[in-house]
Amino acid sequence: MSIDSYLDSGFDDVEGWCSRRIVEIMGHFTEMSTAAGVIGGACEIGVHQGKFFLGLVNAVNGRQSLAIDIFDHQSLNIDHSGGGINDMLAGFKANVQKYAPYPENVSEIVKDSLALNPLDTAHILGRFGPFQLFSVDGGHMHQHLVNDYHFAENVTAPGGAIIIDDILNGGFPGVIEGVARLFLQGAPRFAPLLLGHNKLIMVGLSYHRRYLEDLHARLAAAYPDMTMWRTKFFGHDIISLV
Ligand SMILES: C[S@@+](CC[C@H](N)C(=O)[O-])C[C@H]1O[C@@H](n2cnc3c(N)ncnc32)[C@H](O)[C@@H]1O
């Protein structure tokens, strides 16, 4: 299974919320960061049935990857983001068997992300190494966003990406509030690189400038008809897909 075959044969079958184009863009991002010497697995907080996660796992060629979700403990889903189905963990595992290149390389942690602690961080870093791709799509209150971002920052390679979902979803304003809190009350080590398809891609500050030009060129070549603007977000130059 590769990212193209997942998009051809699995993507439409897996319940969830993300566009096909953003999965493709993560493929381009991963090629670019791999060329910069960054090699790692994928992690997502808030996988639901694995729609976006399996795109990331395919992008990193099936390397050791981690899914964190409360799964069937939906009483912990205090903002009701993406719940509402039975046997969530079983459904997720079935999709991993079908659509991950190496299903044995995918692990799950069944846990409220707000309960992740420094021992979890150390254990995850020791077992998986820094991730190349980390998606934040669990609880959508500002407290979740700030908590989950900081967790991601500690376990993601500086040349990798942290992807924030629902950045511009009016149904979940806690996400943009959380991002505002990160930048106005702190000094995140990752900077915004691309805004589009309801996601914000952030990369380690030291990689931001070179990735901005490189990714822009790659996407312009792959999608000549796609409109890409350059604008600023919290003081950083970004590519904005309009
Ligand atoms: C919007 S869905 C994720 C969609 C998924 N990323 C996709 O590609 O379709 C949100 C997920 O976050 C999980 N979730 C909600 N609150 C959580 C929390 N506090 N900790 C961990 N996972 C949580 C839900 O169980 C649900 O699976």
Domain segments of the chain as ranges: 3-241
User: Which of 132, 177, 130 shows the shortest CA–CA distance to 154?
Assistant: 130
Span from the CA of 16 to the centroid of ligand 1 (angstroms): 10
Write the CB contacts of 220 (distance below 8 Å, at least 6 apart in sequence).
226, 228
Report which of 68, 72, 154 is spatially closest to residue 107, judged by C-alpha positions.
68
Digit-coded pLDDT (tens) for 45-68: 999 999 999 999 999 999 999 999
Taking the CA of residue 112 as reference, the ligand 1 atom at the shortest distance is 20
Tokens of 236: 């950083």
Grouped pLDDT means (10 residues each) for the chain, 242 residues: 92 96 98 98 98 98 98 91 87 98 98 97 96 98 98 98 97 97 97 98 98 98 96 98 90
β strands within 51-92, DSSP E: 65-69
pTM (two decimals): 0.98
E runs forming strands in 18-140: 42-45, 65-69, 106-110, 131-136
- Write down the residue that tokens 């603007």 correspond to: 229
- Write out pLDDT tens, residues 21-39: 999 999 999 999 999 999 9
Give every strand in the sheet of 190-196, ordered side by side.
Answer: 106-110, 65-69, 42-45, 131-136, 156-165, 199-204, 190-196, 236-241, 228-233
CATH architecture of 3-241: 3-Layer(aba) Sandwich (3.40)
Q: Which residues does residue 58 pair with via DSSP β-bridges, in sequence order?
A: none
pLDDT of residue 242: 84
- The pLDDT assigned to 86 comes to 87
- Give which of 44, 15, 33, 12 is closest to 164, Cα–Cα: 44
Contact residues of ligand 1, CB 6 A cut-off:
16-18, 45-48, 51-52, 69-70, 76-77, 81-83, 112-114, 137-139, 144
For ligand 1, atom 2, the nearest C-alpha belongs to 82
pLDDT given for residue 132 in this prediction: 98
**CB neighbours (10 Å) of residue 55?**
29
State the pLDDT at residue 100.
Answer: 97
Largest Cα separation within the chain, whole Å, is 47
> Is-contact 139 78, C-beta < 8 A?
yes
Tell me the DSSP string of 182-210.
Answer: HHHHS--SEEEEEEETTEEEEEEHHHHHH
Check if the beta carbon of residue 169 is closer than 8 Å to that of residue 137: no
pLDDT of residue 185: 95
CA of 69 to the centre of ligand 1 (A): 6
